Structure 1
Amino acid sequence: MPATPHVRELTTDDLDAAWDLGRLAFGNTSERAASTRIVVPGMTRWGAFDDAGRLVGKAVDLHHDQWWSGQAVSAADVAGVAVAPEARGRGVARALLTALLRGARERGAAVSALYPTVAAPYRACGWETAGVLRTVDLPTAVLPRHRPDPRFAVRAGTVADLPAVAALYERVTRHRNGLLTRRGELFDAPDPALPGDGLTLVEVGGELVAYASWQRGRGYGADSVLTVDEALAVTAEAARELVGVLASWASVAPTLRLCPLDGDAVSTCLPSESAREHERDLWMHRPVDVARAVGARGWPAHVRGFVDFSLADPLAEWNTGTWRLAVADGAAEMVRVAGDADLRLDVRGFALLYTGAASARSVAQAGLLHAAGVAPDALDLLGAGGPAQVLDYF
C-alpha cells in the first residue's frame, strides 16, 4: 500500500473489481444487478488504488436533492463505502471521502448524508449523527377502523397514477427538512413500475389525498407481516380513511410494518403506544459547502438575526475560517469576515445545528463548540426550521 492511496473516478473497466469488493465487504449473495456493470447517470463512483493498480477501496456519490423548508438543496449522499481487509486502517476511506467531497463541491453539491455501518470513521471525516430511520411493527388489529367515509373513493393504483403519487409525496415533504426530493436522474426510470405488491389510493373528486404502497409478504398465520413501504396523506380525514384500509388486513396479516414520518397526518392516526421497534438505521450529515448549504435552503420567515463564528473542517478546507451567518425574511447567507470569533465550531457541530439535531448549548457540552466567555445560543439560528428526517435508505 502507498502512504497515500491513489484515488480517482471509476471507469467501466473498474466495475467488476468494484462489485467484487462490495460483495466481499457486505456479504452480498444476491444476483448482480445490471446497474453495477454500466455508467449510471446521477452517480459518481470513486475508487482508491494501491501502487500495483489494485482497487482497495470504493465509495459512491449519489446526486440527490434534499428538501430544506421548501427549497431543494443539492446533496452528495454517500453509499457503498468499502475497503479491502488488508487495506483497512491505512487512510483509504479518508482519502476516498476527501476526493468525494471535493468532486461533489465542484459539481455544486451543498450537503451530504449517509448511513454508516460504524460511525467513528465518518465522524473523523466530519459527518455527525443527526437522526434515525425507524421501522416499527404494529399489531394490525389495534389500528383504528372507521366506517368508510362516502366522500372518499378508495381504489388500487396503477402505473398511470405514479405522477400523482409523486406530487402528493412532494406536498407532504417539501416544507420539511432532510427528505429527498426524489427528482433527478436517479429517479427518472425509463419504464416506471408499481412499488412493491400493491398501491392503495384515497381520492376526493378524482384528486389524490392519500396513498400507501405495500408488500404482502408470505402466509396468513401469526407471523404474517404486511410491510407498508410508504403511507402519506395531506389531511387528517384522508389519513383515517387510509389507516382504516390498512386495518382491514388484520385477519391475514397480524403485523403491520412501516417507517413513520414524525408528526404527519398518518402517524398521528396510529396507536403509537403499541408500536415496537423492528429496525433502526442511523444516518449522519455534514456540509459539503457551508455557504451553499445556508444560502440554498429555505428559512422560517419569522426568524431574524446574525452571529459570527469560526469553523474548523479538516477535510474540506474551503469551509474553514470565520463566518457571519445572517438570517432574515425567509433567507440566509454566510459571508467570510476577518479575524477570529468568540464562538469556535467544529464541522460536526455545524451538522448537528444545521439538521436541528441539537441546540448550541448541547453542542458545546459535546465539545464541538467552544465559546470564549459568551453564551452560544445565537448559533441556534443555524437550526431554525425544525429537525431533519429521512425516509429513503441508500
Structure 2
Amino acid sequence: MPTAVHVRELTADDLADAWELGRFAFGSDPQRPPHATEAVPGLTRYGAFDDAGRLVGKAVDLHHDQWWSGRAVPAADVGGVAVAPEARGRGVARAMLSALLRGAHERGAAISALYPTVVAPYRACGWEVAGVLRVVNLPTVSLPRHRPDPRFTIRAGTPADLPAVAALYERVTRHRNGPLSRRGQLFDFFAAGGGLPGDGLTLVEDAGDLVGYASWERGRGYGADSVLTVDEALASTAEAARELVGVLGSWASVAPTLRLCPLDGDAVSAHLPLESAREHERNLWMHRPVDVARAVSARGWPTHVRGTVDFALDDDLADWNTGTWRLTVADGAAELTRISGEADLRLTVRGFALLYTGAAHARSVAQAGLLRHSTGTDPAGLDLLGAGGPAQLLDYF
C-alpha cells in the first residue's frame, strides 16, 4: 500500500541522517567523508519524509554532461538512491524519482543515467537497461611487448599534467555517445585537492604533446595474486597505444593480473589480448530521457543520416514528454516537434531510451512490447533515434 511521503531538497540539517541511511543501505564505511555532510556544488540531494518527519528515502541528481557525437548534453544522472527498510515497497522511490525528474527538467537537463542495484523499480519509472560497465582481468604477461619507439617520451605524470590528461580524455571521448564530459562544478569540487587520481600516472608524449596516459593503483604484494588496477588507459593514436600497452605489460613480473575497464573499439583496446580477458565485475547502467525534445536537439548526429518519422510517446512520470512527435534528422542535427493527431508508432519511454542509446533496433523494441504499431507498419523508421552507434559509460557513479 503506497504511503504518503513528502519529498523535498535536503538541507544541511538533513545530511547526517542521509549519510546514515545510505551507509546502512550500501554497507559503507562508518567513517563518513567530509563532503557527506557539507554542501557540494553540482548536485541536488532529495529526501523523502514520512508524516512524522523522519527521513525514509534519499536520492541525488548529479549535474553531469554526457558526450553525444561531439556535443555535451546536460544530464541528471542519479546516484545514492536508498530507502529505509521499513518503508520499502511503499512508493517512496517513485515519489523521489518523480521529484528528481521534475527538478532536473526545470534546471534544463535532457537525459539521465543510473547504475541500479535492482532494475524493476527504475523500469517502473521509465529507465531501461542500455549497457554494461565491464571490468576485466588480463594476464599481464599476455600483453604485447615491443622495443620502445625513441620518438616517444614515456614518463611519470604529476598533478601539473592533469589538465593535459583531461584534454586528451576529451579528444578520445567527445565523438562517442554516453561518456561523461567531466566538466562542471561537481568535477571541479572533487578535483580541488589537486592530487593524482591513483597511485601513479604514466604518460606517453610525442614531441611534447600528450598522446596517451594510464592512471593506476599498484595494490599489495608481488606474488601470484598481485593485481595492477588500471583506472583508465586512453590514447589518441595507435602508436601511442602500443607504447602504453608495452609499459603496462612490463608489470608482469610483480603484478600477474592487469585489471581495467576497456573502452570498446578504442586505440588501447585494439592492442589488448581481449581473448584472454576474464570478467571481474559488471555494472548494468540504465537510461531515460528527462526531456525528449532536448535530448534530440542537444546531441550531435551523423551528418550522412537524414529522415523523418512520426510517433506517439507515453511517459507516466514526466508528462511533458507525452504526446505525438515528429523526428526530423538532417545535416548533423535533429529536432522533435509536436504534431496533432495520432501516429502509427506508439513508443514507451523505456523504448525511447533503448533506441536513443543504440541498445536495440526498433523491431526488437516492438518485440519487447515497448513499441506498438499497426499491422503492416514498418517500425524501422524509429531506428533514426539510434543513429551514431551504441552508447557506453566509462564512469561509475
Calculate the TM-score normalised by the size of structure 1: 0.99
Deviations 1:331-351 (A, max 9, x none): 000000001100000000000
1:1-394 paired onto structure 2 within 5 Å: 3-188=3-188, 189-373=191-375, 374-394=377-397
Letter in structure 1 aligned against 2:20: D
Deviations 1:277-302 (A, max 9, x none): 00000000000000000000000000
Cα contact 1:4–1:95 (8 A) shared by 2? no
Cα contact 2:2–2:90 (8 A) shared by 1? no
Query: Percent identity among equivalent residues?
Result: 80
Q: Give the whole-Å Cα distance in 2 for the aligned partners of 1:23 and 1:241.
A: 42
Letter in structure 1 aligned against 2:44: T
How many residues are aligned here?
Answer: 394
4+ long deviations beyond 4 Å: none
Q: Give the whole-Å Cα distance in 2 for the aligned partners of 1:111 and 1:191.
A: 30
Q: Give the whole-Å Cα distance in 2 for the aligned partners of 1:2 and 1:392.
A: 34
Cα contact 1:325–1:332 (8 A) shared by 2? yes
Q: Give the whole-Å Cα distance in 2 for the aligned partners of 1:21 and 1:160.
A: 38
Deviations 1:5-40 (A, max 9, x none): 100000000001101111111111242010011110
Letter in structure 1 aligned against 2:381: A
SS for the counterpart of 2:311 is strand
SS for the counterpart of 2:317 is coil
Q: Give the whole-Å Cα distance in 2 for the aligned partners of 1:175 and 1:95.
A: 36
Q: Give the whole-Å Cα distance in 1 for the aligned partners of 2:30 and 2:386.
A: 41
Q: How far apart are residue 190 of structure 1 and its match?
A: 2.3
Q: How far apart are residue 191 of structure 1 and its match?
A: 2.6
Q: How far apart are residue 3 of structure 1 and its match?
A: 3.4
For structure 1, the residue ranges without an aligned partner over 5 or more in a row are none
Cα contact 1:2–1:50 (8 A) shared by 2? no
Deviations 1:44-95 (A, max 9, x none): 0000000000000000000000000000000000000000111111100000
Q: Give the whole-Å Cα distance in 1 for the aligned partners of 2:185 and 2:166.
A: 15
Calculate the TM-score normalised by the size of structure 2: 0.98
For structure 2, the residue ranges without an aligned partner over 5 or more in a row are none
Q: Give the whole-Å Cα distance in 2 for the aligned partners of 1:137 and 1:23.
A: 29
Deviates more, 1:129-138 or 1:1-10: 1-10
SS for the counterpart of 2:178 is strand
Q: Give the whole-Å Cα distance in 2 for the aligned partners of 1:179 and 1:263.
A: 14
Letter in structure 2 aligned against 1:171: R
Letter in structure 2 aligned against 1:263: G
Q: CA RMSD in A?
A: 0.8
